[in-house]
Structures are given as C-alpha cells and as structure tokens.
Chain A
Amino acid sequence: MKKSDKDALKSAFNIPEPQQKNAFVASYKEKLKKNNSAAVLPVILRYGAVAAMAAVAIGIWSASALSRKPQYDYNGGSVVSDTTTDTAETTAVTEISEKTEASSTETNVTTAVTTVSAESTETTTSVQTTPVTVVTETMTNTTTTTVTTDMNSTTQTTTSTTPTITTVSTTVSTSVTITVTTTTTTETEPPGSFYNDFTVTPAVTYEKTEDAFDLRDLNAGEVPGTQTPLPGNPNGEIPEEVVKMAQMSEYIIYASVDEILYTDIGGAPYTQENLIVYSSYKGGLGFMDKISLYLPGGYLPAEKYIEYIGYDLLLPDNCTTIYDNGGNNGEQNVGDLFVFFINTSGKAFPEGSFVLTQTTDISVFKLDNGYYHSLGNSELFFSEDMLNFLY
C-alpha cells in the first residue's frame, strides 16, 4: 500500500489527535528512569554475589593448596620430609604455620647466612581473606597459641647441619584480616653450616639432683648390668665382639654429647642424649647432624620409680629422687666425644630417636691414647685405625 493510500485511510478513520500525549509521555519517561535506576541494585547484588562466590572458591583453593605444601626447608638445608611432632596441641596451629611457610623460610635463610650470632627473627605476615573462608571459621575465637616444635626425622642425608629450635607463636583474630606473627629463634652454628636436626622432644623430663639415691647402694657388691670382661686385642685384629656389634649396628658415629635429658619410657628411667655427629662410619648420618639417643637409666622421682617397680623400697626418709644407672658403667657428660654403635629405636621410643646396639654403654667407646675403650667394658677396645674397617 502506498503512503498516499495510508494517509487517506488514516484520514478516513477520522481519529482525532490526542491532546494529553506530551504530558503523559514526559511523566512516563520519568517513571521509566526510576524503574531503571531501581533495577540497578538487583544487578549490583547479582554480580556482587558472583564475585563473592569466586573469592570464596579461590580462598578455599588457596587454603587447600597451602596445606599441601611440604615441610620446612630448614635454614636452607635438606628438606625434613618425615618430620613428626609428638604433641597433640601442635595440630591446631599447623595449618597457620604452614601458611607463613614462605616468608618464614625466607627469613631463616637470610639469618643463617648473614648473621652468625643471630638469636631471633620476628616476622609479621598479614594474610587478607574473606570472612567466610574455612580458615576464619575454624579460628572463631581469638587465641594465642605458643608451640615449641623440635623438628625430627628419620630421613638420613649427608648434608651438613646447624642445630635449630623453632618457636612458633601464632595469633589469629576473627576480623577480615588474619595476622600471623611468627617468631623464630635460631641458634646458629658458624656460617655455612648445614645440618639435619633429628632430635626429638621427650614427653616428660626430670631434674638431676645431687642428693639422688643411687639404686646400686641397695645391691652392694652386685652392680646390675655389669658385663663380663671381654678380651681386648690392641695389637691384633678387631675383636670379634666389636665386629658383631658393628654388623648389628645400623649406624656407627663419632659424636659429641650436646644435651642430656632425663625422662622415662613406660615408667622406666631413661636418659636422652642429644648428639652432634662429627664423623660417620656406617649409616647415612652426616656431619653436624643432630640426633637423640636413648640410654637406659637416669634420674626419676622416687614415687614414680616405686610406682613403676610395683613395690616399696627402703629409701632414705628425705629421698625424693632416685638414680638408676640402667646397667651402664661409664659416665657421659655434655661435651664428651664418643664412638656410638646405634640403631633406630623401637615403637616404645619417640619416633626418629636412636638406641644403643647392645642396650647399655658397652656400645659406647671413648678414645684414650689412640684406642677406643668401651664404657661398659674397659677390656673391650680397638685402635683408631681399626675404626675405618668396622663395616
């Protein structure tokens, strides 16, 4: 249809022009604008919700990714991959401390290299997260937890070591920003030293007292644990007993006694010696590796010992502590150097610790005039040269 025909048709309908059009159209457009502006809020909320969900998803993914990271690379040394912590309360802060792993590790490395006598390094790391992340919900209460962790491991490496005790203090708040404060105290060895710290922390320690009652006084003339003298052979071949002991041993080390702790294993008195390895003749321990060795005997509160043996003892009235030599004959003090014939410990002992191959200090040898003499049996000895042919 032509335009002229349409116009004619339009005229033929005789429809008068509207008179209120302009006013209505103006008011309609105003209402339309208000409706559109009102519709912006739902749109903002919709996209805001999407962004929030994305942030939550990223937060959860980051938390899980961080929690999968490996153990600390301690002071730039070998990774302690089999580190175990035997106290239950450390579990609560493990996740947080791992979150700060990157920064704290970096700080440790710097300290170890540049500061010989550095005693402490304090690092504050702010981690920003959304209030609905798993981490925030887990730490709803404001808590301050101090955890002392001694890293220990059964991993054996030959990397040189520096002993370290790490104190981790974690503060978590419920605000949007989580502040994690990590305090690291490092006892540094000379620069350039690297080490594996395999020491363990005993569940309980007891004090050594000067007035401790020596249980050997109860059995005068019969010293428990005294071994039958074995013939030494300083001028001939390596004693057969030593060869057998070497074959039975997983590790033969020349180490110094760094620390002596008195504890108990199943109620029985035991001594934990933390050793620093200087030479390794068998096994994978390396120079400056630090280990924990358990020897029978030690200091124990009298009531604990009575409880352990199950019957009363005739102890002096003022006796509060007893001393049990555990069948050992020799004396070991902090700073002494010995050759130790040792094995990894059994289940009764803290995981990662070591025990003497023949239980008592027969397996411990002290250098004297070019010969290593057994502490448990002075007749058992071998020359310094023989040490290199023990395995």
Chain B
Amino acid sequence: MAFDIDKQYDKIYRYCYLRVHHRETAEDITQETFLRYLERPQYHNIDKTLHLLYTIAGNLCADHFRMKDFCEIPEETSSDENTEERVLSEYSLSQALERLSSEDREIILLRYINEVPINVIGRLYNMSRFSVNRRIKKILEILHKELGKEEAL
C-alpha cells in the first residue's frame, strides 16, 4: 500500500510522543516503526497498514519503557505559546487531558488528531467499533466537565 509518508510520519510521531513524552525518542521510534513496516511487505494493503503502523509503534514504545526501567523522561514543553488567551485556553484543555488516563488520551489523539478510523482503533485496543464510539463519547464528556470546572473557577 502506498501511503503518504509525510502525513503518516506526523501522526505516528504524535502517537509515540504521547506515550514517551520525549521528542527525540518519539522520532526514533517513529522512524523505526516505518522501517519495520517496510520489512513486512506481506501486510502492505489498505486495510492493515494503519493497524500495522500503530501496532509497531505501540510495541516499540513499550519496548522503550522496558529498556529504560520505567525511568521518568523529562517532559518537553511546547514553545508555541504566544498569546495570553491562547495560553490559558490550551492550558485548560491540557489540564483536562492530563487528568485522563493514558489510554483515553491516546484514543483521543488517534481519533481527532491522527484521524485514525474507528475500526483501526478498535483493533488496536481489542474493542468493537461500538465500544470505541462509546469510549470516545465518554472521554469527551469528561473533558467537557473538566473544562466547565475550569471555566467556573
């Protein structure tokens, strides 16, 4: 399957960064993910490409944590914080996201940032499409509640 490496690179990178919270490590894992994908031409079809990429990336992230003995990696901060309003808004949302479980954050990132189809997310987390939909709906409700609290404060 010929996919757009420019787009998929960003998406896999985000997914990896969300897990490892380290830019260089996330990029290393992202690149390793694509190289390993290239070595498995038998899976290069439209249905399995995304699933395979995220599975490889997820496994590599897990391997990374095992190698580091769960060492805490310092979280990098984004330098894209210019306006006060935007900083406040993103801060509120970031805070809300921080309160989510890691898996919920991954699902939200996959679905709304990386635009991964529901069925692929379901295969990645061993859930049905309906379960994924319900899970996403629930996460969004939590986020809204958290944001409402922030606004109320």
Contacts and interface: CB of A to CB of B under 8 A. Distances in A.
Size bracket, chain A contacts? 20 to 34
B97 A13 contact: yes
A31 interface: yes
A5 B112 CA distance: 9
Contact of A12 (B9, B34, B38, B94): B94
Interface of A: 1, 5-6, 8-16, 18-21, 24-25, 28-29, 31-32, 35, 39
A25 B27 CA distance: 12
B14 interface: yes
A13 B31 contact: no
Contacts of B34: 24, 28
B146 to A, nearest CB: 11
B93 interface: yes
A12 B13 CA distance: 16
Contact of A13 (B30, B77, B89, B113): B113
Majority DSSP secondary structure for residues of B touching A:
helix
A16 B113 CA distance: 14
Interface residues of B, number: 34
Contact of A15 (B31, B78, B79): B78
Interface in B52-81: 76-80
Nearest to B95: A12
A1 B139 CA distance: 13
Contact of B14 (A6, A15, A25, A35): A15
B23 A18 contact: yes
Contact of A18 (B10, B18, B93, B112): B10
B152 interface: no
A35 B39 CA distance: 9
Given A16-B76, A18-B9, A18-B13, A6 B38 contact: no
B23 A19 contact: yes
A10 B113 contact: yes
Contact of A9 (B41, B76, B93): B93
Contacts of B38: 28, 31-32, 35
Given A13-B113, A31-B38, A18 B30 contact: yes
Nearest to B44: A35
B86 to A, nearest CB: 8
B27 A18 contact: yes
Contact of A21 (B9, B35, B93, B112): B9
